[in-house]
Amino acid sequence: MIDILVILTCLFIVMSVLRRYSPFQKWMAQRIDNALHKSQLTTILYSPSLRLIPKNANPNDMNNIENFFISNNTSNLKSISESLRQLKEYSIKAHNANGTIFKRTRELSNDMINQLRELQYFSKITKINESIQSNGQMIDLLIESFLNDLVNVNLNSLNNDNKKFLYEQLNDICKNVGYAITPEYQLTKILNFEPDSLYINSDQYRVVEAVSHICRDWSQPFQNERTPIEEFVLNQLETLNFNNQVERNLVVMPGAGLGRLSHNIATKFPSVKVQSIEWSTLMYICNMAIYSTSHDLEIRPFAMHYSGQLSTSDQIRPYEIQTSSITKPNNLDVLLGDFRTYVPSTGVQNGKYETITVVTPFFIDTAENLFEYIETIESLRYHCKTVQWINVGPLKYGTRPLVQLNVEELEKLRKIRGWVDISQLVSTDYEELNGYLTDTKSLYQGYYGLLKFHSKLTNPGM
């Protein structure tokens, strides 16, 4: 009896200590979250249709659904739910960060604080809070548009055995971000919504990145960043004379971000199938929402950028995007998944495309293993007569790259692997440098030189 009491006392003490230990709290919260949403892991979202299919579903439910990826690990319903929660938490997290900036002023003397009042420094912090609130309202529009699409596609447009199951799952997701689904399958907003808890793995850097990319891809002031990329890609595609060929052609664009370049390609070449591929669920949700929202957007992308600003008005200036007038081209598929597992559609005359052209803007240097990207591009030769590769971007390698090739090495590697360069340009002159989400009204501005090449694979598939 004494031994049991000792054991129980020890367990009580250990649990009391662990409850105050932050890593344990995060671990326990993650385990609980996984248990509550385990079924979401086995419900797959198939893009571009937005159809949700449980893994154990009736095979008939897969009718008319194309699967473009060998692996669906990045597109389960849980990843969609997590990304929506992260978007919803933008306002809370950003207000907290801005509150920290305010709290730091308490460490100053009264004379210093009075001088800040004369500078209207605290008024600036208030205006930034208002900008955060405005951005949050814009994000709510994107969330609502995407949820409406999910509900309409999976509950209003279909009759299948999974409808009750999907209704329960979608309703849980909606309730986490301030919405609910009525028994008539209509999306409604929850008044005075407050989340029960914050998502413990929320990555607000990625949220801000996705929202900022809306500006880069769709607002007029960032056209100067898009033009050098668009001009090279569209000019090279024109040399392929798509419209003069009878067989179908495919343009594939991995790392599509918010989708403006793939949109413009599809618009300029309406007879060509265009498939954009994005691995980030946050980017994908924002891209899809842009096509479905009926509201124009106003975004203040630099609101939380305190460093290097010329004035408060510059820091919180809005960018307007006429999203209500943006329509997705019929020949464009917006896909969510890992490009390395991508397989093109087989529904082509004679079983193959005439040409598959891979467009990689600001993409190849994101690879951990650059060879995997190249092998994936080359594997497309088994689905077409000719593979073309058009690249634009810097070689600014990201996290933990296994290999970091320079321009000369990459050119030699293409030759070794059977590619023939049609053109190659390197832009390093000051006048040719290209910004990337650069605040042109700040003291700090970053610009890149661009490697542009167009290559053709000489060893076709069997």
Q: How many CA atoms lie within 13 A of 104 on its CB side?
A: 8
Tell me the pLDDT tens digit for each residue of 206-225: 999 999 999 999 999 999 99
Tell me: pLDDT of 349 over 90.
no
| pLDDT for the residue numbered 394 | 96
Tell me: pLDDT of 42 over 60.
yes
Tell me the C-alpha distance between 177 and 190, whole Å: 9
Tell me the pLDDT tens digit for each residue of 63-83: 677 888 886 555 889 999 999
Tell me the pLDDT tens digit for each residue of 108-140: 999 999 999 999 999 999 999 999 999 999 999
| pLDDT for the residue numbered 36 | 46
Q: Outline which parts of the chain fall under CATH 3.40.50.150.
A: 218-457
User: Mean pLDDT lowest for which of 8-22, 140-154, 195-209?
Assistant: 8-22
Higher-confidence residue: 374 or 2? Answer: 374
Strand ranges (E), 191-282: 249-254, 273-278
Tell me: pLDDT of 290 over 50.
yes
pLDDT-derived band of residue 162, with 50, 70 and 90 as boundaries?
confident
Contact 261, 241 (CB under 8 A): no
Tell me the C-alpha distance between 283 and 201, whole Å: 17
Q: Which residue has the tokens 């050098």?
A: 228
pLDDT, mean of residues 248-271: 96
Tell me the C-alpha distance between 234 and 228, whole Å: 10
CATH number of the domain located at residue range(s) 218-457 in this protein: 3.40.50.150
User: Which class for 23: exposed (0-12), middle (13-18), buried (19 or more C-beta within 10 A)?
Assistant: exposed
Three-class secondary structure of residue 358 per DSSP = strand
Tell me the C-alpha distance between 109 and 325, whole Å: 52
Among residues 202, 196, 190, the alpha carbon closest in space to that of 93 is found at: 202
